[in-house]
Amino acid sequence: MEEIINDWRKNAGIQKKENFDFLKKLKSVPGPELIPLLQKSHDEAFHRIDCLGCANCCKTTPPLITKNDLNRISKHLNISPKQFKRRFVLDDVNGDMMFNGVPCRFLNEDNSCLIYEVRPEACRKYPHTNELEYQDRALLNAANTVVCPAAFYVIQRLKTEFDYL
């Protein structure tokens, strides 16, 4: 894992533009060809990377919060959705809700999540590297490579598979 994290630290920023260009080209690959490779790369990434040894997303990137998240988490914490929103959530310029600060206030010292069972949908899905819509989100995927070593790893694997297209 250390080797992957070091590779990510050293190269993710430098390769962001190259990765964005690659991701744009990936759009032309037929879904049935791409999806199995994507799933394989995603599985391999999370087999090799332990999120508990990283937590960089929780430390740097506030997740978006849906109304369902708000209701579920506030119920779990035994406070009203209104109280929860006042204490932990802010509205961004687009009117979306997100947690109000980084590192996330629910991140424990050992990198575990205090509300893991009821965590936001965005946290469950991050970094979205095994989703059908992956090839439609070049900009987001490129941005995720500088936050998430697994997202970076997936792109490196795909670049090898497609010989950089």
Binding to ligand SF4 (CB under 6 A): which residues in 59-78? 63
Distance CA 2, CA 16 (A): 21
Give the angle 3-8-13 at the CA atoms, nearest 5°.
155
Q: Out of 22, 84, 106, 134, which residue is the one contacting ligand SF4 (CB under 6 A)?
A: 106
In sequence order, which residues have a C-beta less than 8 Å from that of residue 135 and are 6 or more positions away?
Answer: 23, 26, 27, 29, 31, 34
Distance CA 1, CA 5 (A): 6
Q: Measured from the CB of residue 55, what is the shortest distance to ligand SF4 in angstroms?
A: 5
Establish if 113 lies at the interface with ligand SF4 (CB under 6 A): yes
Closer CB to ligand SF4, 70 or 147, in the complex: 147
Q: Which residues bind ligand SF4 (CB under 6 A)?
A: 49, 51, 54-58, 63, 104, 106-107, 113, 115, 119-120, 123, 126-127, 147-150
